[in-house]
Amino acid sequence: MGHVWLIGMMGSGKSTVGQLVADRIERPFYDTDELVEQAGDASIPEIFAAEGESGFRDREKRIVEDVASRPSGIVAAGGGIVLDPANVARMRRSGTIVLLAGDAETLRRRVGLGDDRPLLPADDEERFQTIASERRELYRSSADVVVDATGTVDAVVAEVEAACSES
């Protein structure tokens, strides 16, 4: 089996579902956001503040390369990873890309308001919807498999697990 890369908007449950699936099938779990933070010894908001989004994307790209060469597992990919076609090509070469999809309103409610996602300022309710529409096609065209992320966690885990057994 190759990697199973979980992509999708913030709030689609990539980290929660990814960890659960990895535990169930006894595979490593990787979270690109966490790995970016570990490698930079800084939080994502700190990296955005110091280096801007482009600095963060450069770091994220290096993590995609690094994870792609590690033992096969489940990867929770940061929501913006698909913005770089080189990332999508790298992910595809090393496994299967599974989109956790859902309507923007449901996913936005899950994300809530916080200060841990620099692209979602707490005072800009429209921003999530804008990003979701800008990326909708990109997510779809990058995905090998699309899973409905708005069901129960158990249902989403089961669907992703099925995708893993086919990968």
Distance CA 14, CA 126 (A): 22
State the DSSP H helix or E strand holding residue 19, giving kind and residue range, or none if neither.
Answer: helix 14-25
**Angle of CA points 26, 12, 88, to nearest 5°:** 75
Query: Is the Cα dihedral 100, 102, 106, 108 positive or negative?
Result: positive
55 binding ligand S3P? (CB under 6 A): no
Closest distance to ligand S3P from the beta carbon of 72 (Å) = 21
88 binding ligand S3P? (CB under 6 A): no
Q: Which residue of 3, 59, 108, 117 would you call a contact of ligand S3P, by CB under 6 A?
A: 117
Per rule CB under 6 A, count of chain residues that contact ligand S3P: 10
Closest by Cα among 155, 132, 122 to 21: 155
102 binding ligand S3P? (CB under 6 A): no
Closest distance to ligand S3P from the beta carbon of 6 (Å) = 9
Q: Find residue 95's DSSP bridge partners.
A: 3
80 binding ligand S3P? (CB under 6 A): yes
Closest distance to ligand S3P from the beta carbon of 112 (Å) = 12
Tell me phi and psi for residue 57, to 5 degrees. -65, -35
Q: Which residue of 10, 22, 63, 88 would you call a contact of ligand S3P, by CB under 6 A?
A: 10
57 binding ligand S3P? (CB under 6 A): no
Nearer to ligand S3P, 52 or 166 (CB): 52
Closest distance to ligand S3P from the beta carbon of 86 (Å) = 16
22 binding ligand S3P? (CB under 6 A): no
- Site for ligand S3P, rule CB under 6 A: 10, 14, 33, 44, 78-80, 117-119
